[in-house]
Amino acid sequence: MNEQSLNEDQRDALQEICNVGMGKAAAALAKLLGAFVTLSVPDIRLVGVEQLRTALGAQDEGQLRPVRQAFQSDISGEAIVLVGKDGQRELQQLMGHDVSAPDTEVEVLCDITNLLVGACVQSVFEQLGRHICFSQPTLLPLAGKKQDALLPGGRWDVALLLEIHFTLEEGGFGARMVLLLPDAAIRGMKEALDHFLEAL
């Protein structure tokens, strides 16, 4: 087994911790939009660069608008939120923005990223007894055009990927949130999960 792979207990603990964080993110999104939000089971896996390119470009290549937001603690990483073009327009309408105004696209996508990443990642790190701070979200090129722009280049050989899907019960909105932890952060996460399990 790769030394950076999670063992079964660590994976189960991280999935339960993520479930709580996802629930908080979904509740915050539902409150903002006035709509019921459904969630996927979090997908947790160790990936290399090529696998990550595939994961990030897996759906509607060229139509997903990615927003990146970094988070810093003793375990640091990046979150990428990808919203489809239809979902982007629906978000603008639900939030009362003019869909024809170009400036609102960036504002809405960054606001949604802030909300989802802030609620989910904050909850995960609180459960692990960590304090965390966030960078400002940044809109990236369309996923299908410059895939390498999505990668946290130069800092890792493998990364721990946590992928979550958010959809509205009615309507076309869908978002994917991908959390990436590079090599050094994986070691820190494994230690944090061990401490979490010991405290149970």
More confident residue, 151 or 197: 197
Residue 78 has pLDDT above 60, yes or no: yes
pLDDT confidence bin for 83, thresholds 50/70/90: confident
Q: In the chain, what percentage of residues exceed pLDDT 90? A: 39
Delineate the domains of the chain, giving CATH numbers in brackets: 8-198 (3.40.1550.10)
Residue 14 has pLDDT above 90, yes or no: yes
Residue 192 has pLDDT above 90, yes or no: yes
pLDDT at position 128:
97
pLDDT tens for residues 87-131? 777 777 778 777 677 678 888 889 999 999 999 999 999 999 999
pLDDT tens for residues 136-175? 999 887 655 445 555 555 566 778 888 888 888 777 778 8
Distance CA 76, CA 133 (A): 9
Residue 61 has pLDDT above 70, yes or no: no
pLDDT confidence bin for 48, thresholds 50/70/90: confident
Residue 9 has pLDDT above 90, yes or no: yes
Q: In the chain, what percentage of residues exceed pLDDT 70? A: 84
Residue 67 to residues 35, 168, 176: CA-CA distances in angstroms?
Answer: 22, 19, 11
Q: Which string of DSSP letters, residue by residue, matches the chain?
A: --TTS--HHHHHHHHHHHHHHHHHHHHHHHHHHTS-EEEPPPEEEEEEHHHHHHHHTSSSTTTEEEEEEEEESSS-EEEEEEEEHHHHHHHHHHTT--TT-HHHHHHHHHHHHHHHHHHHHHHHHHHTT---EEPPPEE---TTT-GGGGS-TTS-SEEEEEEEEEEESSSS-EEEEEEEE-HHHHHHHHHHHHHHHHT-
5: which 2 tokens? 């792979």
Listed ranges 26-30, 32-36, 46-50; the one with the highest mean pLDDT: 26-30
